[in-house]
Amino acid sequence: MQPNTIIHIINTPKANNYLYAASKAAIIQMTHHLTADLVKDNININAIAPGFFLSKLTKYIVNEQEAQFDKKMVPKERLGQTEDIADAAIYLSSQASSWMTGHTLVLDGGVIANSGYGEF
């Protein structure tokens, strides 16, 4: 039977923003603890942690030209698109992820995995 699904969206905090980072870490911990409580009710809980995405909110921060930023920061050499988050949410809501619960998918083009430094 396909489980019910809860998906938390947790933005990846920038460096030196300690309070914001702590609040996001709290949501990740909440995801873990709710999983332990709700898995017996056939409810899967996962989270999506997107990196920097071009969106209505971020268009005020960078314009299209500035989006051609230093590609060394993102190994995939592009900013995230809304479709990337949508595809992850579809996956987490599908039968394909029915055995996955209590996890956070980081969608940042490889920034965290590669510490965001150096050339790739």
91 is catalytic: no
Domain 4-107 in CATH 3.20.20.190? The answer is no
Largest Cα span, the chain = 49
pLDDT digit string, tens, across residues 20-75: 888 889 999 999 999 999 999 999 999 999 987 877 777 766 655 555 555 567 78
CA 75/CA 116 separation, integer angstroms: 8
pLDDT digit string, tens, across residues 76-116: 888 888 899 999 999 999 999 999 999 999 998 888 877 64
Handedness of CA 94, 100, 102, 107 (dihedral sign): negative
Query: Residues 66, 74, 96, 48: what is their CA dihedral angle, to the nearest 10 degrees?
Result: -70
Catalytic residue among 20, 60, 91, 117: 20
Q: What is the pTM of this model?
A: 0.82
Task: Sketch the domain layout of the chain as residue ranges.
Answer: 4-107
Query: Residues 48, 51, 56, 57: what is their CA dihedral angle, to the nearest 10 degrees?
Result: 100
